[in-house]
Structure 1
């Protein structure tokens, strides 16, 4: 290899490395804007309401238990009865639990950033089937019960939009703030009339819940037989949690989804018993499912993914530029390579700034068209032919099209990238198969 060719290849490699500096700076700018967007979204949620998780209703019966213990006097050896009292709570899950909700979404903007809020118009109903003697058997006589209450855990009660009224066996009762148990965290509760401790009765309940939230809506299927139905005007749902819907339908106008679970699938009765003391139970709260209302078109995520291919893009573009130079016996200065490389780097800055104001696809087309037009016009003079400049611009436009395909087909990005590199290498080998590399870079005088 002659010195001219070695110098040219070394200069091109050095330029590629040098252009990583502005690309790294643009990557840092993407991270900064993404963090700022997250702060704005959290601020909007803080002033309205956060993601919502609904747990319950759960029927809770506080009790005081009196137990007689046989004791022996150490000095006299006489036996006597000592009475001890302990307090606690009995927890009952619904036999049937139905949650039917219609959700509407709206966007709240702050500057150029938007947050998606949802409003849930929900109808909650079901029945508690209390066991005989509350499942205590012959020990029932040891218990003295206080007034029971119905508890519903709601992660952010600021999202409750209307007063809550509980309908229990056709009797109307008021809900009060606070779940009444640290096991469920924040929420509401309703005091119930005294229940016959002999049990064996059904308590039918129903209430309407108008709730506002952001990002996610999740529920814990507390019933022995649970059925949850959601319908929303959001066409991009992401179903999350421990259980996927048994039926779902997604259209351009929204989605409907239905979950149906049983105690055999959730094992919530055992989970509730394992929670034991009246403290927060992560295992119970974690048995949830629901839907995410996050916008799937995140311009920062896609721009960040695009810039990860920048090194490959620069290499392929410079390789194409170099092939024009070699095959057409042209002389292109490293400064001209550098200007083309800066135009390629500017594409990502244009994409970032435009995607904050218009749709990502439109921002991509405008940015790519601007860079292709600029580089095509410039290379027409560098390559001394408008046809060559047009051909180079067409190849560059094809690369931008392939890059967009890589961004859109996340699951096949590696495959498409591998095929692209193989295709470029194949074309290079075919076009240069008869080229005398020893003569590249020599002047006509040296060839003679």
Structure 2
């Protein structure tokens, strides 16, 4: 049976509709695999440690003031004890952090999770401790204070492998917890208040997953970080003033003053430490879920509009190529990919009708199905191979099969080879679109413009009225 022109067009339209549903199902499969990857990240974080954020060293002490007041009248008059509990806190004048992070990849099945082991050498200086001296609010009251606590708050204390502390050169025992109600997780050391300057040196080994943050809670902060990871992503509220990324790793240096950051003041006001947990963990000290941490116009999590999140300096240990993200982007181009291929086949029919066989709608369907399966093949191979290798393997396989099929469909090996070469060009253009995120729009637009221009030039001499009459002639003769 010969298809009329309009019947063939409707059949191809129906095929495109079915292929759209096939591509949608492949897109759902990509989303499912990406969800499995997030589950793997959560599993590693639950078994090891999550994204890490460090606050401190920081000084605080708890004080209680009591006094007697007379209440009642006459015989009912009596003394009643009033009580005020408050906390004194003081940030260091300077904080210097020198650190080195070694990456430790973990695996859950096929899925890789970037962990790290960082050594942090922290040096904090206080010119005096006057802010920790309590003042009476009532004359003659009884005022008592606990020992001064030097604390370092950590987002996930399971990652603390070692901690050594020296105060003014003297070693001091470190205990778990911070003794601070707002930032309970971390470590602390107690000492008696003394006059004069104070210097604290803390060396800590900290294990975590995906991200490391430091709160610039001091008048002057400097964080020097080196790592063997080649693909850092710098975030937080401040970018490093110096950075160098090489094939051997990266080096970054942050410098922040209290003029630029309100972190020290916000800690005194019990602001939240909101680590950007890639797997959706809870924010430290506030119980806020990071899933609610979409930034508002000020760059703060929306769930923390009423409570200030602390400023942080941050680096994420990311993979430059996420196969699921790239596969998802590739599937979004799938319908355009199929449409361009169908246009190429139809154009071949139009320009070489005397030398090329008529292409049946079933053949269009098989070509479209092969094109759609390319994306599933890409997803499956990228879970076992590097994305570049998986892409080349999938594209060569599909282009080879379609070139062989095209040699029979189009009536000759030359036409089939040209068909395969054209598909290879489309696969190359798609790879450029996937890997050039910043320039994908301009590259894609120029590519489509070039294709449309080529079609217009190739068909500029076609008499479309005569062509439609010739294609409809077999149906007229049959009637």
SS at match of 1:297: coil
Equivalent residues of 2:217, 2:267 under 8 A apart: no
Q: Give the drift of 1:115.
A: 1.4
Which position in structure 1 is the counterpart of 2:190? 191
Equivalent residues of 2:89, 2:131 under 8 A apart: no
Equivalent residues of 2:226, 2:252 under 8 A apart: yes
Which position in structure 2 is the counterpart of 1:218? 213
Which position in structure 2 is the counterpart of 1:438? 465
* Greater mean deviation of Cα atoms: 218-227 or 179-188: 179-188
Which position in structure 1 is the counterpart of 2:46? 46
Which aligned pairs between 1:151-190 and structure 2 lie closer than 5 A? 151-162=151-162, 164-190=163-189
Which aligned pairs between 1:204-283 and structure 2 lie closer than 5 A? 204-275=199-270, 280=285
Which position in structure 2 is the counterpart of 1:297? 321
TM-score w.r.t. length of structure 1: 0.91
1:401 to 428, 432, 446: 428
Task: Give me the whole-angstrom Cα distance separating, in 1, the residues matched to 2:271 and 2:385.
Answer: 53
Which position in structure 2 is the counterpart of 1:105? 103
Equivalent residues of 1:93, 1:222 under 8 A apart: yes
Which position in structure 1 is the counterpart of 2:148? 148
Which aligned pairs between 1:268-417 and structure 2 lie closer than 5 A? 268-275=263-270, 280=285, 286-329=310-353, 330=356, 331-417=358-444
Equivalent residues of 2:103, 2:116 under 8 A apart: yes
Q: Give the drift of 1:54.
A: 0.5
Equivalent residues of 2:262, 2:311 under 8 A apart: no
User: Do the aligned partners of residues 437 and 195 (structure 1) sit closer, same or farther apart at CA in structure 2, a change above 3 Å counting?
Assistant: same
User: Do the aligned partners of residues 416 and 45 (structure 1) sit closer, same or farther apart at CA in structure 2, a change above 3 Å counting?
Assistant: same
Task: Give me the whole-angstrom Cα distance separating, in 2, the residues matched to 1:133 and 1:228.
Answer: 25
Which position in structure 1 is the counterpart of 2:449? 422
User: Do the aligned partners of residues 392 and 213 (structure 1) sit closer, same or farther apart at CA in structure 2, a change above 3 Å counting?
Assistant: same
TM-score w.r.t. length of structure 2: 0.85
Task: Give me the whole-angstrom Cα distance separating, in 2, the residues matched to 1:124 and 1:77.
Answer: 59
Task: Give me the whole-angstrom Cα distance separating, in 2, the residues matched to 1:430 and 1:110.
Answer: 53
Task: Give me the whole-angstrom Cα distance separating, in 2, the residues matched to 1:368 and 1:276.
Answer: 52
User: Do the aligned partners of residues 146 and 13 (structure 1) sit closer, same or farther apart at CA in structure 2, a change above 3 Å counting?
Assistant: same
Q: Give the drift of 1:326.
A: 0.9
User: Do the aligned partners of residues 75 and 445 (structure 1) sit closer, same or farther apart at CA in structure 2, a change above 3 Å counting?
Assistant: closer
Equivalent residues of 2:4, 2:472 under 8 A apart: no
Q: Give the drift of 1:350.
A: 0.8
Equivalent residues of 1:112, 1:357 under 8 A apart: yes
- Deviations along 1:340-369, one digit per CA (max 9) or x if unpaired, are 111101111110100000010111111001
Task: Give me the whole-angstrom Cα distance separating, in 1, the residues matched to 2:41 and 2:263.
Answer: 34
SS at match of 1:234: coil
Which position in structure 1 is the counterpart of 2:85? 87
Which position in structure 2 is the counterpart of 1:123? 121
| Uncovered stretches (5+) of structure 2, i.e. residues with no partner | 273-283, 287-303
Which position in structure 1 is the counterpart of 2:197? 202
Q: Give the drift of 1:124.
A: 1.0
**Residue 10 of structure 2 is aligned to residue 17 of structure 1:** no
Q: Give the drift of 1:83.
A: 5.5
Q: Give the drift of 1:81.
A: 8.3
* Greater mean deviation of Cα atoms: 211-220 or 286-295: 286-295
| Uncovered stretches (5+) of structure 1, i.e. residues with no partner | none
Task: Give me the whole-angstrom Cα distance separating, in 2, the residues matched to 1:276 and 1:40.
Answer: 31
